Amino acid sequence: MNKNLFIFFSLFICQAAYANQPTEWQLGFQKAASESMREIVAFHDKLLLPIIIAISVFVLFLMLYACVRFRASANPIPSKRTHNVAVEVLWTLIPCLILIVIAVPSFKILYKQDTIPKADITIKAIGYQWYWGYEYPDENIIFDSYMIEEKDLKSNQPRLLAVDNEVVVPVGKVIKVLITANDVLHAWALPAFGVKRDAVPGRINETWFKAEEKGTYYGQCSELCGIKHAFMPITVKVVSDTEYQEWLNEARIKFAKEEIKNSQLKLASK
Ligand SMILES: [Cu+2]
């Protein structure tokens, strides 16, 4: 009974803090971990939600009012009115004004997301059926990132979200992400950073984020790409500068690009 009550109430109560991944009975957004996402959440909570609620309440009131005021029993002779210029002007103008009020901050946020600041680190994400491949072009690092099967999960790893090779980035740095695909359309999305871009074969899309807190952040492919679309998650690990350098040192060897490995082998054999 208590559990049912909890579930019932949690449907209506907005939970204050989310992890960096979806949670059970979640209704709102994940906790924002970047400035862009904070702006998106504020735009939704402070502008869209009040407008949605006001319009819904107003329409409900109009429907109830019309049902009572113009019911058949109180109006034996129905009105024959068909037009009312004042009302028609109002119901055209007011929605236009509402749309303009929404458009201005919306475009502001969109343009801000679209303008990529000077990048500290560039990574490239390539969508494949059905996993993600990553490159750090400046570091000559390349690796694939597969979902971990349920039977192989460790206790702290979430189902359908954890991957074998995570993307590692330092905290507080501008990360530019180049996104493309090798076969069909995919989309690289990380809700906590407010990032989502289509991965299109033969084309490179760009986006960026600046993580504000250390932690592990989970996202998923967000463009229906085939039978295993649900099984190509995205994991980004945000770490401190020194931890990132340590990871880089290991990754440069472990995930070295083939041609570099070959050239090293050639050098070694000489
Ligand atoms: Cu997909």
| pLDDT per residue as tens digits for the range 216-242 | 999 999 999 999 999 999 999 999 999
For ligand 1, the distance from its centroid to the CA atom of residue 185, given in whole angstroms, is 7
Give pLDDT, residue 257.
Answer: 77
Provide the domain count of the chain. 2
| Domain final residue, candidates 114, 143, 175 | 114
**Residue 155 binned pLDDT confidence (cut-offs 50, 70, 90):** confident
pLDDT greater than 70 at residue 265? no
- Pick the more confident residue, 188 or 6: 188
Q: Please tell me whether the peptide bond between 91 and the residue prior to it is cis, using omega within 30 degrees of 0.
A: no
- Pick the more confident residue, 153 or 269: 153
Mean pLDDT over 108-130 rounds to 93
Range of the domain at 102: 35-114
For ligand 1, the distance from its centroid to the CA atom of residue 226, given in whole angstroms, is 7
Mean pLDDT over 139-147 rounds to 92
Q: What is the CATH number of the domain that holds 222?
A: 2.60.40.420
Judgement on whether residues 87 and 214 belong to the same structural domain of the protein = no
Mean pLDDT over 237-257 rounds to 90
Judgement on whether residues 144 and 249 belong to the same structural domain of the protein = yes
For ligand 1, the distance from its centroid to the CA atom of residue 247, given in whole angstroms, is 28
Mean pLDDT over 62-73 rounds to 93
For ligand 1, the distance from its centroid to the CA atom of residue 187, given in whole angstroms, is 7
Give pLDDT, residue 261.
Answer: 56
Instruction: List residues, by chain if needed, whose CB lies under 5 Å from ion ligand 1.
Output: 186, 221, 225, 229
For ligand 1, the distance from its centroid to the CA atom of residue 34, given in whole angstroms, is 24
**Residue 8 binned pLDDT confidence (cut-offs 50, 70, 90):** very low
Q: Which residues have CB under 8 Å from 205's CB, separation 6+?
A: 178, 179, 180, 197, 198, 199
**CA-angle at 191, arms to 130 and 212, nearest 5°:** 120
pLDDT greater than 50 at residue 16? no
Query: What 3-state DSSP class applies to 147?
Result: strand
The answer to whether 145 and 163 have CB atoms below 8 angstroms apart is yes
**CA-angle at 231, arms to 164 and 20, nearest 5°:** 70
Q: How far apart are CA 118 and CA 109, in angstroms?
A: 18
For ligand 1, the distance from its centroid to the CA atom of residue 210, given in whole angstroms, is 24
Query: What 3-state DSSP class applies to 230?
Result: helix
